[in-house]
Amino acid sequence: MEFFKIRRDIPFMRHALILNAISIATFLAAVFFLTTRGLHLSVEFTGGTLIEVSYAQPADLEAVRGSIAKLGYTDVQVQNFGTSRDVLIRMPAVKGVSSGQQSEQVLAALQAQDSSATLRRSEFVGPQVGDELALDGLMALAFVVGGIMIYLAFRFEWKFAVAAIIANLHDVMIILGFFAFFQWEFSLPVLAAVLAVLGYSVNESVVIFDRIRENFRRLRKLNTVEIIDNAITSTISRTIITHGSTQIMVLSMLLFGGPTLHYFSLALTIGICFGIYSSVFVAAAIAMWLGVKREDLVKPGSSGKRDVDPGDPNAGAVV
């Protein structure tokens, strides 16, 4: 399905060098902020106290957050757990204050606000668990990256695999750079969003790579740069429909999902925007600079299609 069709190819690769120079500068800035500021890790990674409180009626999460904030605690996660009457509170560890003392302070503040508040459980998540979760997250990221490389190498060509991974890691580093610069809380949902962006971004790269391979088979009079420009131009309508609809959903979570989904949807928003950019200007450009050519993707004698003009409305017809 297409909302519109561009008849004339847009020369994207003409500006590839400048845009990739900007990408390198942005990437280095993200690395700098990650090195100097680091990530503001959540309770799942650093350790802290988990408190589950039950109410007689649906809980007012904003009121709960306000009561805890008056105690001087910051970076506290408050969300419903199971039902609207059950609230799960994650609190970071505070030096000199035990987990039990935190639980007593919080429960007293909540009961002063609503006498029906009762403590269902309180437990301490130690740094040992946090380290294990961080290691598991890094392993998940490594498996995703490795799987993508293997898939693209078999599905297309190793040059495309290298280009896609560089572009996808560029997206991940940009997201982490934003979180390091603004010191937004990096939690397990944010890690899930980063992994989702990896898969989402590679999907856009695969669509463009597949069109490049198709163009090499049927547009035999065009050179590599023209082939890539035609592939990107011909997929613009699909890109707008796909990413536009996805971004609307993510923005709805960002605007109306509350604090629980805020950083998750924020990471997805950044990842989607940079994923489009990297698929067009980073992945395709790197594949071009690596020297991808018709012989890499089309076996001799395998194509039975005639030379066609990209402006011909019957260009995709098979002879």
The answer to whether 148 and 165 are in contact (CB under 8 A) is yes
Cβ neighbour number for residue 129 with a 10 Å cutoff:
14
pLDDT digit string, tens, across residues 144-181: 778 877 887 787 788 888 888 888 888 989 999 999 99
Q: Residue 302 pLDDT more than 60?
A: no
Rounded Cα gap, residues 21 and 31, in angstroms: 15
The answer to whether 288 and 303 are in contact (CB under 8 A) is no
What's the mean per-residue pLDDT of the chain? 84
Looking at residue 160, its amino acid is F
Token pair listed for 139 = 């392993």
pLDDT digit string, tens, across residues 80-89: 877 889 999 9
Q: How confident is the model at residue 52 (pLDDT cuts 50, 70, 90)?
A: very high
pLDDT digit string, tens, across residues 185-243: 888 889 889 888 887 888 888 889 889 989 988 888 889 999 999 999 998 888 888 88
Rounded Cα gap, residues 29 and 71, in angstroms: 36
CATH architecture for residues 12-39+130-297:
Up-down Bundle (1.20)
Of 68, 161, 168, 162, give the one whose Cα is nearest residue 112. 68
pLDDT, greater one: 313 or 131 = 131
Domain ranges of the chain: 12-39+130-297, 48-125
Token pair listed for 63 = 């009121």
The answer to whether 186 and 41 are in contact (CB under 8 A) is yes
pLDDT at 317: 38
- Residue 124 β-bridge partners: 49
Average pLDDT over residues 2-24: 86
Token pair listed for 51 = 């408190």
The answer to whether 67 and 109 are in contact (CB under 8 A) is yes
The CB-based long-range contact list for 109-112 (8 Å cut-off, 24+ gap) reads 109/67, 109/68, 109/70, 109/71, 110/53, 110/64, 110/67, 112/67
Q: Residue 112 pLDDT more than 80?
A: yes
Average pLDDT over residues 15-28: 93
pLDDT, greater one: 163 or 6 = 163
Please give the class, per CATH, of domain 48-125: alpha beta
Token pair listed for 212 = 């490049």
The answer to whether 198 and 166 are in contact (CB under 8 A) is no
pLDDT, greater one: 35 or 148 = 35
The answer to whether 163 and 284 are in contact (CB under 8 A) is yes
- Residue 48 β-bridge partners: 92, 125
pLDDT, greater one: 109 or 47 = 109
The answer to whether 281 and 20 are in contact (CB under 8 A) is yes
Q: How far is CA 315 from CA 221, 227, 300, in A?
A: 13, 14, 21
pLDDT at 156: 77
Rounded Cα gap, residues 40 and 185, in angstroms: 5
Q: Residue 270 pLDDT more than 60?
A: yes
Evaluate the CA torsion angle 258, 262, 268, 270 in order and state its sign.
Answer: positive
Q: How confident is the model at residue 130 (pLDDT cuts 50, 70, 90)?
A: low
Q: What percent of the chain has pLDDT over 70?
A: 91
pLDDT at 248: 93
Q: How confident is the model at residue 4 (pLDDT cuts 50, 70, 90)?
A: low
